[in-house]
Amino acid sequence: MKTTPRQNLITAAALVCVLTFATTIAQAADPLSSWNDGPAKKAVVEFVQATTEKSSPKFVPPSERIATFDNDGTLWAEQPMYFQLLFALDRVKALAPQHPEWKDKEPFASLLKGDVKGALAGGERAMLEIVMTTHAGMTTEEFEKIVKDWLATARHPKFKRPYTEIVYQPMVELLAYLRANGFKTFIVSGGGIEFMRPWTEKVYGIPPEQVVGSSIKTKFEMRDGKPVLVRLPEINFIDDKTGKPVGINEHIGRRPVVAFGNSDGDRQMLEWTQAGLGARLMMLVHHDDAVRELAYGAESKIGTFSDALMAEAKTNGWTVISMKNDWKRIFAWEQ
């Protein structure tokens, strides 16, 4: 039987429809659609399959599926400087009218003149003074509101978007993919625990009780018959470098099987994770995309990815994620 041109056309159209539909389905079905098919994505998918398939020799029981993630530079960006530091600088400006003495007092004087570099020239002491002045003295509830209010209005200097949108879409997909496979996802960050908790659930799907970070001390007090926790200008815990395994042990109480970081501050977390028995997955995000984000690493003060770390990654079999090659897109709002 012969087909008419019209019939041919209909058949062709139908075929196109079916193919388009199939492609759409395939894309929708890929939980890691912002990852290019490459070694990093492959390592993730193979690890998850091997640890969740009951018959696999690498099977990990659901209760042991603990995955820890650094935040700055791993889940969201950290340039031109840590967002929490930008928050602190904005707070200094907001509080300045109540502190006329800052006009002549470093590091505040330089800061208020817009000279961030000059302010931070005072090193760790200057940084600590800025952090304590802007992070302590209020109740935990008041601080939470300050953070939320800032996030609602502040914009990233380069991307002109709220900081909570400067998050890496492939990592957001990865978090969801791990959770869909029974992993419990935690943040283990050098950032302030109470600076992160107000927004991590909404942005990453990670609830407050699964956030580990640096902290200052708090004190229980009764104010007008109501109990409050007052934030004190005293360091409680620094969740960085050797502090990360300590923080993991204190807050989680078991060793992760998955750990993602991006800098020298994450080294010990990855070592600690790897030292456990059974299957493990350690990865480092490498900022090598000067076009879509930034290329930095060994030479950067913020998010240092030293040559020694790169060498250790090779020796230990940690996967280094190339943002340039492994990520199809970096931010959700990219085309």
Could you tell me the maximum CA-CA distance found in the chain, to the nearest angstrom?
95
Nearest distance from C-beta of residue 26 to a second copy, angstroms = 33
Nearest distance from C-beta of residue 122 to a second copy, angstroms = 29
Q: What is the CA radius of gyration of the chain?
A: 23
Site string for a second copy, 139-158 (x = CB under 8 A): -x------------------
Site for a second copy in 63-82 (CB under 8 A): 63, 66
Residue among 291, 283, 289 nearest 266 (CA): 283
Nearest distance from C-beta of residue 249 to a second copy, angstroms = 5
The sheet with strand 226-237 has its strands ordered as 226-237, 211-223, 184-192, 66-69, 258-261, 281-286, 319-322
| The binder of a second copy chosen from 251, 280, 286, 287 (CB under 8 A) | 251
- Going from the C-alpha of 302 to that of each of 77, 130, 149, 214, the distances in angstroms are 11, 17, 26, 17
- Going from the C-alpha of 105 to that of each of 41, 100, 137, the distances in angstroms are 51, 10, 19
Measured from the CB atom, the residue of 37 and 250 that comes closer to a second copy is 250
Please name the amino acid found at residue 81. Answer: M
Give the span between the Cα atoms of 87 and 72, in whole angstroms: 14
Nearest distance from C-beta of residue 329 to a second copy, angstroms = 29
Nearest distance from C-beta of residue 270 to a second copy, angstroms = 10
20 forms part of the interface with a second copy (CB under 8 A): no
Measured from the CB atom, the residue of 36 and 242 that comes closer to a second copy is 242
Site for a second copy in 263-282 (CB under 8 A): 268, 271-272, 275
226 forms part of the interface with a second copy (CB under 8 A): yes
| The binder of a second copy chosen from 70, 72, 78, 194 (CB under 8 A) | 194
- Determine contact, residues 74/261, Cβ cutoff 8 Å: yes
| The binder of a second copy chosen from 201, 264, 289, 312 (CB under 8 A) | 201
Residue among 51, 41, 71 nearest 303 (CA): 71
What burial class does residue 308 get, using C-beta atoms within 10 Å of its C-beta: 0-12 exposed, 13-18 middle, 19+ buried? Answer: exposed
Residues that bind a second copy (CB under 8 A): 63, 66, 140, 184, 193-194, 197, 201, 207-211, 215, 218-220, 226-227, 229, 236, 242-243, 245-246, 249-254, 268, 271-272, 275
